[in-house]
Structure formats: structure tokens, C-alpha cells
Structure 1
């Protein structure tokens, strides 16, 4: 009888141990996913700063986007895997670090925040994609140049 009771307790302890190992494995995967997501986001931020630095140069020029399709945020940012020109959005993607950036000239406007009153400023949309492993992050900024 004692042998039977001890075998049942051993079986219960084994089941608890297996359940704990499965839970620990799942938590390890989740922690790895969060770390990968953070790396991807940091990569996208770094690529965004490279794109903004390119726009900031005095010699930088880009034709104004035309039409709703070319002035909308580029839809291919969620699937882009290589640098080059996209005919649908009119964005030229440039590889940098662990990702890509694309710039769109949104045109000249007046009365932009943090720009002197009645000073014309050219607005640029900089879209950056960070790719690390199977994770992807897309960040975007609007840059006013006057």
C-alpha cells in the first residue's frame, strides 16, 4: 500500500515538474520575443535618424510627391525586404544599418509648429523600417526644413 501511495505522489510531482518546465519554456520564448522587438524598434529609430540627417543637409532635394497614392504613407513598409524604387508609392528605399528608410517631399507650407511665423517650410516624411530576425518595426517622422 505504501508503495502504491508513493508512486501516485511521484506521478503527481512529475506532472507538476513537466507543467513548470512548459511554463518556463513559454516565458523564455516571450522574453526573447520582447528583446527582439526592442532591438527591432531601436534599429528602426537609428535608421530614422540617418534618414533625417540626409534630409537636413543643405544639398538635399527631392521632387514634391504628386497624387494621393504618392503622398500617403508608403504601404510597402510592412513588406519591404530590399532597397530600391517602389513605383506605387514613388519612394526610393535606402538601406542603412539593419533596415531601410524612405523620404517623401510633402510640399511647402507656412505656420508650422516651431518654425518662425510666415516662414515657408518644406515638409518631408521620413519612414524607417527596422528588421531584426523575423521582427519588423516601422517608425515615421515629419521633418520641417526652412
Structure 2
């Protein structure tokens, strides 16, 4: 497991947390011209910081407290196949459910055009990348 990534997420989360608190102390009204939803900015920045810190702390603590037997089992091919199968099934579920959620939110008026087309375009990029990886893996095997 690459702990550098999680430590960098921890640092970015801490910086976002400090930035959100500082923005709350200084006041959002000084930057109100550039922020369309200024009253939510402090909450959103602090939430992102806390979220990143929480996400990165769990793997760091797990990696530090891992026994030698757990390290050996982690490299077992069966365990890796189980994780890959779970990821594949999760991707299939997301690939089917995301378009329905996007269309539902758009039809009921909870999403504007910019959000809809941005998320729809991002979804199409992911599906195209999946197709590219399938073709690439078929050529390699």
C-alpha cells in the first residue's frame, strides 16, 4: 500500500481545514463578489478537509498496526482476486445506476444544465476509458 498518497491526502485535508477556519474567522463577506454561495463556502471547505483527514487516517493506522501474517496474506492471489471482483461488480453497479440518477435529478429539477452535462460528460469519459482498458487488456493476453 502506498502510504505517501495517504500522507499527502492528510496534509491537503489539514490545509483545507485550516483554510476553512481562517475563512470563517476573516469572513466570507470580503470575498462575496467571487463566491456565488458564500455562506456555504466555509462549511464546504471545512467538510472537505475533515473528510480527507478521515479517509487518509484509517489506512495509515491500519498499515502501522498490521502484523507480519497480515502482510503475507495481503499479497495472496486469492485475496487480490476477491478485491478485483468486488471492484468490478461495484463498477458495473455504478455504470448502470449513475445515468438513472442523473436523468432523475434533471427531470425533477434538482440539477441545472451545467451540472448535468459536466457529470454526464465525466461519466462518458469513464465508460470510454473502461472500453479502452478492455481492448488494451485483450491485446496483451
TM (norm. structure 2) is 0.27
- Say which structure is richer in helix: 2
- Say which structure is richer in strand: 1
Larger RCO: 1 or 2 (CA < 8 Å, sep 6+): 1
Kindly name which structure, 1 or 2, has the bigger radius of gyration based on alpha carbons: 1
